[in-house]
Amino acid sequence: LVAAVLSGRSLVAVLLALYRVANVSMHRPDGEDTEELVAYADWAMASQVYYATARVLSRAHYEEGDPVVVTIDSRVPARA
C-alpha cells in the first residue's frame, strides 16, 4: 500500500515519467534474459499506473480544495 500526496507539478512529472516508460517500447520484450525481464516488469508497472491514473483524471472535476484520489487495486478478488 502506498499513499502519496502530490502537487500538480509533481503529478505531471510522475505522469510524464510513467508515460515514457510505458510508451518508449510499444512492444513487449520477448526475450528471457534478465535485462529484458526487468524492462518488461518496468513496462507492466508503469503502464498500469499511468493508464489507471489517466482514467481517474479524465473523469475528475476540479473544485478548489478538493483532492483527486487515485486508487489502483489490482489484487485478485477473494473467492466467496
In order along the chain (80 residues), what is the average pLDDT of each group of 10 residues? 80 88 64 74 85 84 73 79
Using the structure block, give the residue that is written with the C-alpha cell 512529472: 13
Sign of the four-CA dihedral 64, 70, 39, 28: negative
Q: What is the pLDDT of residue 56?
A: 83
Question: What's the rounded Cα separation, in Å, for the pair 80 and 75?
Answer: 15
Q: Any idea where the domains of the chain sit in the sequence?
A: 1-80
Q: What is the pLDDT of residue 32?
A: 64
Q: What is the pTM of this model?
A: 0.65
Q: What is the pLDDT of residue 48?
A: 85
Q: What is the pLDDT of residue 19?
A: 85
